[in-house]
A and B are shown apart, each in its own frame.
Chain A
Amino acid sequence: MGAGIGAGLVAVGAGMGIGRIGGSAAEAIARQPEASGKIQGAVILTAAFIEGVALFGVVVCLLIALA
């Protein structure tokens, strides 16, 4: 139960984070299409950070669930 709620919260947080990145990236590319390569790199990197945090949460939840 706790693990489920935790995983849900993690998903909400990660979703918001990645959504914000995607939105800002789309805006940035629209504003400066010539910089899209650089923006894409930054997007992947930041998304990876958020994913890392989210997966950390997921692993903790899994440990709770599996324990």
Chain B
Amino acid sequence: MSFTGTKFFKSLFAGLAIVAATTVPVWASEGAAGKEEKFEPGHLILHHVVDAHDWHFATIGGHHYTLYLPVIVYKPGQGLEVFSSSHLHHHAEGATAEAASHASAHTEHGETDAVDNGHSLAGKIVHNGYYLDENDKLQRTDEATFYDFSITKNVASMFISVALLFIVFFSIAGAYKKRGVGRPSGLQSMLEPIIVFVRDEIAKPNIGPKHERYLPYLLTVFFFIWFNNLLGLLPGGANLTGNIAVTLTLAVLTFLITTFSGNKAYWQHVFNTPGVPWWLKFPVPLMPAVEFIGLFTKPVSLMIRLFANITAGHIIILSLLSLIFIFESYAVGIVSSIFVVAMTFMELLVALIQAYVFTLLTSMYFGGAVADHDHDHAHDHDHAQEYEHEFGQVEAAKASTGV
């Protein structure tokens, strides 16, 4: 175990080293000082909540403090290409380099000026035929198909969160191994209630006796979302869980696990729902259609809920901050700052709640897929049992008679 652990860490560090080698931090002046730009809140907010090829921390006195991340592109027929995104930005010698890189792009790939002239590339820096458009999206000058696998700001942030997850949970696992069944302490005692909460309050009641099989996925999803939600709240943090690609991936994984663990009762429930009048199923399969669509709307709702919640939180905070620069007044600054502090506390709560909700709904879908018996009756039965457990026999009698 410890051998595999160290081996794993070695390969992790090797991977990080490669990423670091192609990452160029630039703490340099862009020479843009003195040029007063009009403040556009919409543009600023959008820029902050979407992904980027560079990690821009701050601009102080005309200095852009930016981490240029590696661009990885795959173009069919040309293979993989890796270069730093600093080649696509105005920086130190940007103004003068533009023409040069422009020229080099053409000489390298033998492109004609005619193609270039077809696009408005004014102010864009082209490298190897790639440039960033107004939305910071990578484009090719010749519009050829390519696939962008760049280590973007979100990917880099995700790597950090993963490193954090590994550090935290490996140390906890180590603590468990060291202390055994003894009293937990430190980080262990802080996170154990959460782990037990996920197990006893999320997985067990919703999935039932088979919950242990899904527990690793639920725990990973919960902590992945929670950690990334919190990292996104840090100043300069990336909006990872507020990126639809990330929530899409998580929702698709939930969907796949649900679909593949669906038992006979689950599929019967979908295509021949019990307890529904036959005329809703036979000539026109209305109910099956609704249920079938429901299979997909569930993960879609998961995807949109997390994305919208986290993105909206970021947008609200950024909007409140933008107010300061729109009004350019100290009074607004103070009020706005108080509001931002309040919103940030709110977002700390939302970070946890959204992780909880995502995990809870995921476990509900798993529970639906692995439930043994007839759906409706099973629910009544479960509720009756729960009540009996919680409030004693009288309430149980009421619950079972439907009072």
Contacts and interface: CB of A to CB of B under 8 A. Distances in A.
A and B touch in the complex (CB under 8 A): yes
A59 B311 contact: yes
A60 B126 CA distance: 33
A55 B308 contact: yes
Interface in A17-67: 32, 34-35, 38, 41, 44-45, 48-49, 51-52, 55-56, 58-59, 62, 65-66
B45 A58 contact: no
Contacts of B311: 55, 59
Interface in B383-403: 390-391
A48 B353 CA distance: 7
B315 interface: yes
B22 interface: no
Contacts, number: 47
A47 B356 CA distance: 13
B391 A62 contact: no
Nearest to B358: A48
B46 interface: yes
Nearest to A44: B353
Most A C-beta atoms less than 10 A away, residue of B304, B309, B360, B390: B309
Is the contact region of chain A dominated by helix, strand, or loop, or is it mixed?
helix
A52 B360 contact: no
A35 B389 CA distance: 12
Contacts of B308: 52, 55-56, 58-59
B309 A51 contact: yes
Given A35-B390, A44-B356, A52-B309, 15 more contacts: A32-B391, A38-B390, A44-B353, A48-B354, A52-B301, A52-B305, A52-B357, A55-B311, A58-B308, A58-B315, A59-B307, A59-B312, A62-B312, A62-B315, A66-B42
Lowest 8 CB-CB distances: which A-B pairs, in order? A52-B305, A55-B312, A55-B308, A66-B42, A56-B308, A48-B357, A59-B308, A58-B312
Interface of B: 42, 45-46, 201, 301, 304-305, 307-309, 311-312, 315, 353-354, 356-357, 360, 390-391
13 contacts: A32-B391, A38-B390, A44-B356, A45-B360, A48-B309, A48-B354, A48-B357, A52-B305, A55-B308, A58-B312, A58-B315, A59-B307, A65-B42
